[in-house]
Amino acid sequence: MTHPITTLLVANRGEIARRIFRTAEAMGLSTVAVYSDADAGAPFANEADIALHIGPAEATRSYLDIDRIITAARTSGADAIHPGYGFLSENTDLAAACERANLRFIGPPAEAIAAMGSKSAAKALMAEASVPLVPGYHGDDQDLSVFEEEAKRIGFPLLIKASAGGGGKGMRVVRDASELRSQVEAAQREARSSFGDPRLLLERYLETPRHVEVQVLFDQHGKGLYLFDRDCSVQRRHQKIIEEAPAPGIPEDVRQAMGEAAMRCGEAIGYVGAGTVEFLYEPESHEFFFMEMNTRLQVEHPVTEMVTGLDLVEWQIRIANGDALPWAQQDLACTGHAMEARIYAEDPDNDFLPQTGVLHTLREPVDTDFVRVDSGVSTGLAITPWYDPMLAKVIARGKNREEARLNLIHALNRYHVDGVVLNTEYVSRVLQQDAFARGELTTRFVEVHREALASPLFSPWARSHLSLMGWLDNVGALTVTDDRDVWNNLKSFRLSGTSGQPFELDLEGNRLHGHYRIENGHDSRGCVLATFNDEETLVRWSRMDDGTLDVRLSGRRVRLDTVSRGDELSVFADAATWHVRVNHPEVVEGTAAAETELMAPMHGRVTGVSCQPGDAVKAGQALLTMEAMKMEHTLKAGFDGTVEAIHCQTGDSVEAAQVLVTLEKSEE
């Protein structure tokens, strides 16, 4: 019997590396991280017991370099390698290299990986194992005339797929025979470029299928179990956005048949470890068809963990150690419902364009019994263009699907980043779509609901009012600890004949002006009367336990938080984020052009005095600067005259309406 694993090297990065380390450490194993130049300061590299540099940022010269990975394992004394997902996770060469180096590979045998590496060969195997297949052609003869004959048999529309592909590469939908030649040639070029293999397969194109997958576990003793199913239908560009377990709305007999088909799939290739069998499911006919098998841990594995109570990484390691699965299939139960949202550094409103930048601020939900965050990032981390833009996953569970959905929405309301655009608002829009709430899922969900999903969570009107509230909170205006504080008296302060304090708001290129008055404010709750374009709105607020604001705006309840950087304010309203600049307009001529007393327009600090008693001054001449609300304001003379007296000095804190300079008008 081989000795148990003692030191585990994770040949991956980001959130999956941290997630594997978490389980490994709980099992008492030592952990080894490998990192590239781009990840030298990443959290996963800092959290392992040993961290080894393996090369430059290019993945081909670091995370995809098998020789460097094996060398790092030998150098660190690791006796096992976990590949995570992506990179080398389904690479037969790594599995074989581990075997040659006497290292345990946390995954299936190389032969099982190879059996599923070619879509055409895999489908042939599945046909022999009586696993349902989408009608199609998976043969070796790649002549165009063969494709044309097979297309007639299959019927249109049909789908062209790269045999060695994934991620939508080499995939084409053909709706008419006249398009077939050009689409085949284009798919072959893309398949050759992306995978070094131009071979294609044809399948019937299912117009509105769902993507449903089954999680399986096989030990080294020939025993296998399926851990129920997941729905991963909501995708953009063939990449998943939201996953959930169990898949909703599937009849129990179909669900069982799908699980049993997944078991036949694993048995047919002598599978060992954790794997996922993916199916296309037709809701109307309740038919399901084998799509592919992922011979690794899936990104969405946490939703299965939440509904089964099992740690899949732990069982990957136990199986690699030779442990037998201790349950019968009937012993396993699926309890409640779980949903996962992938957090990407991308701009959904700009065709999901990947984003880079620095995470100047990062606030993630706190793990609870109902929420889990698998994160690969930390405050100050630079998001580079070198790797996949997924930064983290937020997972929520509930007693049923609706409770899990609401818990995930609330969790996303607590995921805030300043410095990089994320997809959190877009995911929240999906979760709040009526069709999603009803479970009307399809792999074309994003396409079908494109127009509705393009609508932001907050209108420009709501954004302007929430920006004002966020700014008032950021500068401390809503926190009152002393009844003598000027903020308690703002409701009676008047400037230029208008009730309340004036402000200027620059929101997404639009400059808005208005007034506000704080009403009945104290430490935990209050309200603000905001005026935009002569329209008054009463905005109520209360302070939550974590210090954020619970804002009530026209009957809508919003969780509001902010962070300032320079003169810009980042506003976090539920799952939405935007940037704004807010300021009190500069006072050009004091309180009024004809007045001899220049008063502070608001509470603040004097930063400079540029005149002395007895100085002759001209109209418009700057006399004093002060800082208020994190902005600088200049007080200027409203007429030609003489400085009679100065009532402050640099550094003084002054209150609103306090006289700062007295002028005497010229006799002329």
One DSSP character per residue, 322-386 reads TPPP---GGG----SEEEEEEEESEEGGGTTEE--EE-SEEE-PPP-SSEEEEE---TT-EE-TT
Q: Which amino acid is at 54?
A: I
Reply yes or no on whether 450 is catalytic. no
Give the C-alpha separation, 302 to 286, whole Å: 26
One DSSP character per residue, 27-63 reads TT-EEEEEEEGGGTT-HHHHHSSEEEEEE-SSGGGTT
Give the C-alpha separation, 15 to 393, whole Å: 8
Report in angstroms the alpha-carbon separations of 550 from 365, 414, 415, 462, 610. Answer: 16, 12, 16, 14, 43
3-state secondary structure 507-558: ECCEEEEEEEEEECCCCCEEEEEEEECCEEEEEEEEECCCCCEEEEECCEEE
Catalytic residue from among 19, 236, 296, 429: 296
Name the β-bridge partners of 277.
214, 293
Residues 314, 321: contact at Cβ < 8 Å?
Answer: no
DSSP 8-state code for residue 486: G
Residues 260, 319: contact at Cβ < 8 Å?
Answer: no
Contacts of 629 (CB under 8 A, 6+ apart): 471, 475, 582, 583, 584, 602, 604
- Of 619, 611, 667, which is closest to residue 643 (Cα–Cα)? 611
Active site residues: 296
